Amino acid sequence: MSRRFHTLLLFLALLPSSARAQSYDDLFGQAAALSARGDYTAAIDKFRVALKLRPGAPEALSNLGVMYHMAARYGEAVETMDAVVKSNPDLFPARLILGLDLIHLQRSADAIVHLEAARRLNASSTEALYGLAAAYLGADRLQAAAALYETRTQTAPVEADAWYGLGLCYERMAEAASRALSRTPGGGALDKRFLSEFLIDRGENRLAEEALREAVALEREPPTPAAQEAYRQARALAERSRRAFTRLLEVAPEAWQSRLFLADLNRQQRHFDEAIQNYEAVERSQPDNSAPAIGLATVYWELGQFDKSEQYLRRVLAANPKASQALFQLGNIRVRQRRDEEALPLLAAFLQQQPDSLFACADLGKAYFHLGRYRAAVPYLQKARPIDERGDLHYQLATALRELHLPKEAAAALEVSAELRRRSLERDQRLKSPDPSLPHR
C-alpha cells in the first residue's frame, strides 16, 4: 500500500464523529468500509446519498473528494475539494488533494497556491513537497522546483524521485539557456557547439558532427562576452542535469525513474528496441503514468509506424485531452497522412499552450496549404521559416503568396527556397565524405 494511500485513510479515520441521524451514520459507515476495501466507486455512491440527507456535511464532502481522487476522477475531486477548502482553508488533506489533482488536469499554475498552503500546514509531508515541486516544474518555475528537489536529495539521498526531478529541472533550464544563447549576438556558433556536445552525450554522433560543422562555419568572428557567458551557463546547467541523472542510476538502478531515463536515452540514441523494452517495463509498473506511453508513441512516430504511435497518443489524450506533446505528435501524423482537416484542431490546441513552437507552426501552415487555404497558411509558414533547412517551407510559402497575387513576395520566398535547397545538398554531400581535418571528440 502506498504512502499516499496511508495518508488518505488516516484522514478518513480522524474525521469527527459528532452525533448524526442514524441513516446518515449508516451510509457514512458503509462508505468508509467500502473505501477501506478499495471499492471507491461504491463508496462514492454512498457518500453522495449521505450528502443528500445532510447537504454540505464537511466530513462526507471531504471523504467524497478523497474517493474521487482515489478513483482517478480528478475533475470531480477538484470540484469537491474546492468547496471543502472554501469552507475550511486550513484542512491539509483537502489542500493536498486539490493541488495534486489540479496537476493531473494540467493546471499546475493553479495547483501552486494549494500545495504551498499544504506545505505551510504540514512542512514534513513528502507528498506536499513532491506535489509542489511538480507544480513548479509544470508551471516552468524551474529554479523553485530545483530548490525543492535539491532539498530532498540532501535529506533523502537515495530517493529516486528527488534525483529524477532534479535532473529534469536542470535539463529544461539547459534547454532554455540554449535558446537564449541562440538569440544572443554572436552566440550562433557557440549554440551549435553546445548542441554538438549534447548530441555526443546522447550518442547521436552523426547529428553531432553536422552541428559541429555548422559551428565551424559560423565562427567568422570571436564570440561576444555575453555569448561566452551564456554558453558557460548552458554548459553548467547541462552538467548539473547529467550529474543528477547519473546519481539516479547509482542510487536506484531498478527504479522506474531510472528505467524511464534509460528509455529516453535509448530513444535519443536510436536504440529503439531497448527503448521499447524500458518504456514497457515502466508502463507495467506505473500504469497511471503517461510518460512511458508518450515515450512509446514517440519511438513509433520516429520509426514511421504511425498506427502504433496513434494507439498510445489516443490513450494519453483520453486521460488528458490537453496533453501537449500528444496533441502535437498526432497533429503531425495527420499532416503526414494528408488528413489535414483532422490536424487543424489538434495543432491549434497545441499552439494555444505553446504558441512559439515553430515546428507546430510549420505543420499547421502545411495543413492549411494542403487544403488550399492560403491566406490562413501564410502567417504560420512565415513564422516557421527559421527551421526550414531544405527549402520546402519557403517553396510552399512562395506558392501560397503567388496564389494570393503577391508576386514580389512570392519571388523572394522562392529565391530563399532555392538557396536553402542548394545548401542542403552540399551539406548532405559533406556528410557522405567527412573532412578528415575536422576536429572530432
Domain shared by 67 and 83, yes or no: yes
Domain shared by 366 and 406, yes or no: yes
Domain shared by 176 and 241, yes or no: yes
pLDDT number for residue 387: 82
Of residues 197 and 177, more confidence is placed in: 177
pLDDT above 90 (res 170): yes
Domain shared by 90 and 32, yes or no: yes
pLDDT above 90 (res 168): yes
pLDDT above 90 (res 275): yes
C-alpha distances (whole Å) from 359 to each of 393, 401, 426 are 11, 20, 24
C-alpha distances (whole Å) from 56 to each of 9, 61, 79, 163 are 21, 6, 13, 42
Quickly state the pLDDT bin for 161 (edges 50, 70, 90). Answer: very high
Q: Specify if 313 maps to a domain.
A: yes
pLDDT above 80 (res 154): yes
CATH code for position 299: 1.25.40.10
Domain shared by 128 and 178, yes or no: no
State mean pLDDT over 50-79: 90
Q: Specify if 440 maps to a domain.
A: no
Domain shared by 295 and 185, yes or no: no
Of 252, 283, 309, the residue at which a domain comes to its end is 252
The CA-based dihedral angle spanning residues 296, 164, 156, 110, taken in that order and rounded to the nearest 10 degrees: -90
State mean pLDDT over 345-362: 91
Q: Specify if 329 maps to a domain.
A: no
Q: Specify if 433 maps to a domain.
A: no
Q: Specify if 335 maps to a domain.
A: no
Q: How far apart are CA 137 and CA 146, in angstroms?
A: 8
pLDDT number for residue 297: 95
pLDDT number for residue 204: 59
pLDDT (tens digit per residue) in 375-413: 999 999 999 998 888 899 999 999 999 999 999 999 999
Return the minimum-mean-pLDDT range out of 38-52, 142-156, 167-181, 188-202.
Answer: 188-202
pLDDT (tens digit per residue) in 121-130: 999 999 999 9
Q: How far apart are CA 326 and CA 323, in angstroms?
A: 6
Side chain identity at residue 284, one-letter code: R
pLDDT number for residue 8: 47
State mean pLDDT over 102-130: 94
pLDDT number for residue 2: 41
Residues spanned by the domain of 394: 340-424
Q: Specify if 441 maps to a domain.
A: no
The rounded percent of the chain whose pLDDT value lies above 90 is 57
Domain shared by 275 and 198, yes or no: no
Domain shared by 263 and 246, yes or no: no
pLDDT above 60 (res 1): no
Domain shared by 316 and 409, yes or no: no
State mean pLDDT over 282-299: 91
Of residues 241 and 5, more confidence is placed in: 241
Side chain identity at residue 350, one-letter code: F
Mean pLDDT of the chain: 85
34 CB-near residues (< 8 Å, 6+ apart): 40, 42, 43, 46
State mean pLDDT over 354-374: 93
Of residues 104 and 115, more confidence is placed in: 115
C-alpha distances (whole Å) from 336 to each of 42, 46, 196, 224, 310 are 45, 50, 29, 41, 13
Q: How far apart are CA 331 and CA 348, in angstroms?
A: 9
Q: How far apart are CA 67 and CA 97, in angstroms?
A: 11
Domain shared by 16 and 126, yes or no: yes
Number of domains in the chain: 4
Q: Specify if 432 maps to a domain.
A: no
C-alpha distances (whole Å) from 441 to each of 235, 237, 382, 437, 438 are 16, 21, 37, 13, 10
Please tell me the pTM assigned to this model.
Answer: 0.74
